[in-house]
A and B are shown apart, each in its own frame.
Chain A
Amino acid sequence: QQKVQQSPESLTVSEGAMASLNCTFSDGTSNNFRWYRQHSAKGLEVLVSIFSDGEKEEGRFTAHLNRANLHVSLHIREPQPSDSAVYLCAVSTYNVLYFGSGTKLTVEP
């Protein structure tokens, strides 16, 4: 079964500074990787999906995938206080999403 781990558990950045989140997974044969965020008491919002090694940008969110290193990262450019949330990495294997435990991001004004 796919194991997904995220780091750090929590991250505080100042408004406008880049935020970088990491995710490692155990099975490199998976073919798609997603980043979601979850504001408290709300559902999950998909931010960016990436299917091949390299970089994928969606607005201020950029994912980098290195399948050989079993690693995918998310970089948030110019974060704002409204970006404060839990960020979840998910790896899709045979249609099922396997999630990490999340990184709690706090963006201070």
Chain B
Amino acid sequence: NSKVIQTPRYLVKGQGQKAKMRCIPEKGHPVVFWYQQNKNNEFKFLINFQNQEVLQQIDMTEKRFSAECPSNSPCSLEIQSSEAGDSALYLCASSPGTGVYEQYFGPGTRLTVL
């Protein structure tokens, strides 16, 4: 069973508000991924980190999305100005490494933008 911790589990924001969610990877996993799962079960990779460094990221939705994985603190994903289309389940996964290693997912943060 995955030991990735995500908080909060549910987040409700108004349009234009900031939304911030956090992820604590499994102990010993230096690689962290963020994915977005929309209501149609479509997944979108957002960004990944190895230790504190960004490995890969998509063009972060007009710069409204930002993420970081500081040393000795939870990783975070923040939406600066939420839009209705951002409503989704945000999944964090951690991995012992890149390539063939498994990605272990947390339960997700369900964001609803009213």
Contact = CB atoms under 8 A, between A and B. Distances in A.
A98 to B, nearest CB: 7
B99 interface: yes
A23 interface: no
Given A95-B98, A95-B99, A43 B42 contact: no
Contact of A46 (B6, B43, B48, B104): B104
A-side interface size class: 20 to 34
A43 B4 contact: yes
B103 A97 contact: yes
A33 to B, nearest CB: 11
A42 B107 contact: yes
Contacts of B110: 41
A43 B55 CA distance: 23
A102 B41 contact: yes
Given A31-B100, A45-B2, A86-B41, A95 B105 contact: no
Given A44-B91, A45-B2, A97 B98 contact: no
B43 A97 contact: yes
A96 interface: yes
Contact of B102 (A46, A86, A99, A102): A46
Interface of A: 31-32, 34, 36, 41-46, 49, 51, 86, 88, 92, 94-99, 101-102
Interface of B: 1-2, 4, 6, 31, 33, 35, 40-43, 45, 48, 55-56, 91, 93, 98-100, 102-108, 110
